[in-house]
Amino acid sequence: MTATAENGTGGQPMQKPAVVSADAWEAARKQLLVKEKAQTRARDALAAERRRMPWMAVEKNYVFEGPDAKVGLFDLFEGRHQLIVYRAFYEPGVFGWPDHACRGCSMVADQVAHVAHLNARDTTLVFASRAPQAEIARLKARMGWSIPWVTITDSFDKDFGVDEWHGTNVFYRDGERIFRTYFINNRGDEQMGGTWNYLDITPLGRQEVWEESPDGYPQTPTYKWWNWHDSYVPDAAPDKKWVEVSDAGEAAFRAESANEKP
């Protein structure tokens, strides 16, 4: 039997789930957990398939306005191998201009985790719009955003499917050559913002040993590379104390997971 409650909108009463005992609630949680774990495994398998997608060579020299000077697509990598570019709509004609960017794009920006964690996985995140740099700088200051953000000056948005709608493109730098490796848009990139979601759409993935990746892909022990966002040091060995803590946590997690298997 379900209970009802007013939904506060003046419409029909909200149909609320049944209220049950602690034991019944835990049984329902474990029943749902079976499906949730299946979804997690399916997500990991999809990410593994994504790492095997073919690459498309980028032959055109795209130019952007950066905070200090003009920069090319190659420069946006900042020396790293992976680049994620989100096309944010902030320009004349967009609702909110010039005080705000698109509401949806602004929500995405609000959700972006500290980019130091992506940088530690050889990945750079950049937002790109057609607004002048002066307006972008003003907007970032007002909204509290620190994401690298450049101005599109050519056909980059049209060439990569983001001239009329938002979208996220992923690129890989192999020496001097650049390749497009993935693209996601519409509802697909509404989940973007978290470090793991971003890494899962890159060709190298999270780069941890548990992932199913092609031979030769960089992988390090799970959890060991994690750090405070102000404490990453390039090529540093994992902190010994953190190794002990993470090993203990992983052992406890795996023991609990084994007990929860259906």
pLDDT single digits (tens) 102-112: 999 999 999 99
Same domain flag for 226 and 167: no
224 in Cβ contact with 210 (< 8 Å): no
Q: Is the pLDDT of residue 3 over 50?
A: no
What's the mean pLDDT in 218-236?
95
> Residue 12's pLDDT is what?
87
pLDDT > 60? residue 262:
no
Q: Residue 2: pLDDT above 50?
A: no
> 219 pLDDT exceeds 70?
yes
Instruction: Based on the fold, state whether residues 67 and 138 are members of the same structural domain.
Output: yes
Question: 251: which 2 tokens?
Answer: 């052992």
Give the tens place of pLDDT for each residue, 163-190.
999 999 999 999 999 999 999 999 888 8
CATH of the domain at 188: 3.40.30.10
Inter-residue contact 104 to 126 (CB < 8 Å): no
pLDDT-derived band at 259, boundaries 50, 70, 90: confident
Q: What is the pLDDT of residue 261?
A: 60
193-228: b (≥16 Cβ within 10 Å) or e: bebebbbbbbbbbbbbeebebeeeeeeeeeebbebe
Q: Could you tell me if 62 and 157 lie in one domain?
A: yes
Taking the alpha carbons at both ends of the chain, their separation in whole angstroms is: 27
The reported pLDDT for the residue numbered 243 is: 95
Cis peptide before 17 (omega within 30 of 0): no
Over residues 146-175, mean pLDDT: 97
Largest distance between two CA atoms of the chain: 65
Which of 211, 203, 197, 207 minimizes the C-alpha distance to 174?
203
> Do 89 and 191 fall into the same domain?
yes
Q: Same domain for 59 and 156?
A: yes
Domain hosting residue 224, numbered range: 220-253
Instruction: From 179, 176, 192, 219, select the one nearest 75 (Cα to Cα).
Output: 176
CB 73 within 8 A of CB 59: no
Mean pLDDT on 219-232: 96
pTM for the structure as a whole: 0.92
129/229 same-domain check: no
HSE, side-chain direction, 13 A CA sphere, residue 100:
10
Q: Is the dihedral of CA 127, 130, 132, 138 positive or negative?
A: negative
Mean pLDDT of the 157-168 span: 96
The answer to whether residue 28 is domain-embedded is no
Quick one: pLDDT at residue 1?
43
- Number of domains within the chain: 2
User: Mean of the pLDDT values across residues 60-64?
Assistant: 98
pLDDT at position 106 is 97
The pLDDT assigned to 65 comes to: 98
